[in-house]
Structure 1
């Protein structure tokens, strides 16, 4: 009896075209979801907008089925569907509507579960690699310098950096960036605590000694979860370039073996390669890296000197060219140098490094930065950065800059996923944390941006991060909180970095403090008469003041100076008030961002 009723019910669903409506509705809903993935980011709507579209379309599904059961479209118009003659009086109509509605709810809930599971997983195209892959993770702690001469500390730092770099060639291991492990050089903690803070399950620690013509490196691999030594060894060799590279490759291969990771042929070839035969050139290269890591004006200038001296001894030393490119790139970031004076040098050095060694991920990443920040070649930058990631999936700057490239084109969901990968590789980097907050900010997820910036400030009292958090408060209309943050940041930097000044002038203007905003504007213009100041910083203050004609003029100057404004400001909320200006839209087309034109 039950089977016959079920059969009649299914036949009635077919007669009333419920199946057809379900198929058509599903096809239309799918088309809407696909369109939303393209349209919503272009409109700069928050990420949850796509989720809302999915929820609304799923919620409408049971109603569509119920309407299909109850009504039909005829030449005479919409009419109530008559039940079968045999069933009149028995009244399956109301029960049928309830049954159709209930079935639609069940299908919608099931479909929703599938959709959210599937959509929650990043595709291979969206993210260069998944964040949650199951593979061992290791942090190489700074090596202790036990050389008789304290000035040989650069040697221990250099060996540490190079072994970290060698291990990072192994794609089956996640290796934490040097930036995140260096704080533990001064503050040693229990291994288990360090591992928990960095999100790893293994730690490699050791010491380096350089004396006359001998070198000794002692290393030990520790299972942090069990607090057990997995492997330890000591390498005592004559001090030659060949022996140094042998030690580095042997350590990397032994660690991989201890973690039961099999190297690919290309990984083994890269690890065992000797970048130079000149010990003196390699020593100068290590000195260059040592001063580069100090990240101040004097340190960067000395780094260039040592890299160039290394190249004088070995003109085919690709790592030294890569070091030069990295140094020039840093000099463009707030060190008072005009982009046209530095980026061409960075491009030349990165290109030469790749001519000598096409597998050098660092050089691909540097070239990607030149294409991103100077050439505004969005496709070329993405290609170079993806290549860097393919060659060395543990090189944190590559996904970091990839995220900024995606952000510049309003591909916010992809940018967030990609910068999360950089954060997994470099969890203590204030710079990566800063840009996590910035991507949330430009995607109008203000609460998440505040949370990200506040978390970063707890670990690093960084002035620029504080200024950027203040900018978020200003967009929320919390002018007192925003101005307080930005004023403090300006005091901390004392004019060394002018990003806070630009945001402060904008904040004053939006808070109705026009005189203060005009004062900041005058100060920036006076500084620009003495040294290079990004013209877009002045444009931001003018936008806040509503002086759009002058703002467009200064953005034209920024374009001529090849500043990095196209990477950041077209998606920044500070430009919302000029977004519909035809002159501004023409500027976006000029820098290759036609896709952002409304």
Structure 2
């Protein structure tokens, strides 16, 4: 019967909810809250900058959620009437309805609801305030302590789970050594194979290959392959093993798509020890072929990556004792960056190799590298000048023997760069060595030896190194003391060329202490923060920059716009803002590097626009082009033939074959 009271407890509870208007109040509260939130989202950004507006909006949302149970509890206990707010128990008594329960338990429930909601709100406020304080002090903390640790490589790339997608970045993990455990100190062989494969693949241009120091220092224990790829910021990983025994060597390698942990290719190679250098080339070529098979359609029949690798290593068999001496020398050279007593051992190994074959280009190149690194480690004086001149002389011989050796050309170009860069300080010691070294302005020196004149000219940017030795030398040069902002900027770029993005960022932040008014250093620090995967850090830097620099040095669009776009779109928002920022500067008549604009287009996936700007930069010989091999921002362009063509045009800027060799220092 319709007038009978509800029989079940649930039915009675639902009827009570309706009578007390709890559902109506809840719906009304939700509707009012929605309107309030929409209004706050529009109004708050107009009065508060970036992060403050976001924080205020979070407060509104959390307050709305926390007040909801309080409103429901109040609707259950009280009713709004023409006479005012009246307790439901009083209304029931006046209407002669049976009491639904005692009032005090309901008031206690209301009080408990208020306390819980208030406590939750207070906890959220404190934790959010701590996070906000951390954001506000991030700039000062980073300047004082350096960038936070981000693993062996700083760039954290998001890779696709599609194993059929093009491979644009690669890590070669150290090879497991399964050699004779009874042979003492045999680690150099597997390490030499590892470094040689990296150097070969780094010359492709098709992929970005992270440096040896990054892959070698990575602790893979307990990590899955997707985690390895994410940590190293690469699409694919090469791993394998080396077994050397009884005059033969066997290398096993496999190419793995990191994100999906899919094995793409695997192969075993067996060779006599006389064919190790050829084996290295074949392994690199095979990997390159697998990578090329996964690239997007090419638009022109440009030189393939496999052809680029094929011409970079000698084809003739090499005596085992000769290649062993070279690989031992290179292994000893790995300690060069720490300034350890590496030089004597490395020099002796290369000298032993040259005693077996005086025209072996890898041995000549290694010996030139020893002299160059030792000269960079010396205080300015006759010894430093002697080492740099010897490095240049030996590197010339290496290139004369093998004009196709990319590594030899890079070492020679770096030696000439070091001579030009240090010529002002070294000129006064030239007479002691029977030389006439004359500074010619701030960027070149002239060396006269027995009537022959050679000019060493320093370019606007470091050598665009593609090999591990070239990168190691650039890193060593970056650690020289800086006297000017230009010196710091060159050091920052050298660290980038060496793939040391975390060190480059630390150097940029340190340089801000010495040159806080130089916008170029702020640009470098901001860009490197993004490369390190710290977009919020880049925003913080831009905020600090706006406070530090004079307003006329801070171009529009402004920081508020950057904060909003990064908040909405993350890294993509940053690059969109940066592109607008650069184009606004260019429209205002400021000189803007096309490479910087191309980087923003590349990060946004606008390949054609990026390549067009890079081709313009190549015509102008823009010094910013040295970043093309190592910077992750160029990964979207790597499968394109136009990009590979640009890379092939970026060899060492000096042609050593056009210069006569100088007499040795005795």
Q: TM-score, normalised by structure 1?
A: 0.46
Larger radius of gyration: 2
Instruction: Report the structure, 1 or 2, having the larger helix content.
Output: 1
